[in-house]
Amino acid sequence: MKKSSNVVTLLLVAVVIGGAVLYERQSSDIPGATKTPTSSTKPGTSSSPKPSATSKTSSTLSLKVPFTPQAPTGNWDQLHNEACEEASAIMVSAYFSGDTRTKIPAEEVENQLTALTDWEQARFGYSLDTTTAETAEMIRLFYHLKATVVSNYTEKDIKDALNDNKLVIIPVNGRKIGNPYYRQPGPIYHMLVVRGYTATQLITNDPGTKNGENYRYSFTALKNAPADWDHATDTIDESKSLMIVVSK
């Protein structure tokens, strides 16, 4: 009887040892097997990395571009009514010069408007309406900044430029973009500065109104109102979808 009991005991020990070995192999040796979760990965939670600071803020950006309306004293005479190109250039120049003011004083703006229109008159023979290419040329030669005209731009093109600390100037038919602050019916040829974006809108400094600082438009509103000045017809060419990318 004692002998039988010893045999049974040995068999039980063998079964326990064999089970432990098999369990260890299943949990660690078999390819593709999942180990018991450690403290760094809790059961029932995702092991995906947390978003970085960049990805958290990637849907919103607003560069601190000083603002001015094109008629800083409220004098909407012929010169100021057509000064959106120059006002846009003044704002991007202020940004790249390191100007951290929220608004550019009216006297400074008026002095620069005079200097720019005098330069355009000497360079082109006119100053009231300049094409996208001529405006880019003015920015390059007068302010010594880089200014590139991009055709058929996309929303991604705008955001990529802004993410690279560049600014964007977009020429539009101002009567089609729905800004209620314009003197109606609005400017048929207009330029504004894109300074940032949200998940659904573009943030602009729109010189066409004193309320234009941080004014928001949808990408579609601007994209669907293309315009470039055509000197041959003395009006806008709505077949061109253009933007000016400005950088140091």
Average pLDDT, the chain: 84
Please say if the pLDDT value at position 12 is more than 80: no
For residues 198 and 172, give the distance between their C-alpha atoms in angstroms, rounded to a whole number: 20
* Residues 70-110: tens digit of each pLDDT: 999 999 999 999 999 999 999 999 999 999 999 999 999 99
- As given in the structure block, the two tokens for residue 13 are 């020990």
Mean pLDDT of 118-140: 97
pTM over 0.85: no
What DSSP designation does 167 have? Answer: E
**242-247/146-151 β-pairing:** antiparallel
Q: Using one digit for the tens of pLDDT, what is the confidence trace for 168-221?
A: 999 999 999 999 999 999 999 999 999 999 999 999 999 999 999 999 999 999
Contact status, residue 138 vs residue 92, Cβ threshold 8 Å: no
> What's the CA gap between 1 and 105, in Å, rounded?
110
- How far apart CA 20 and CA 33 sit, in angstroms, is 16
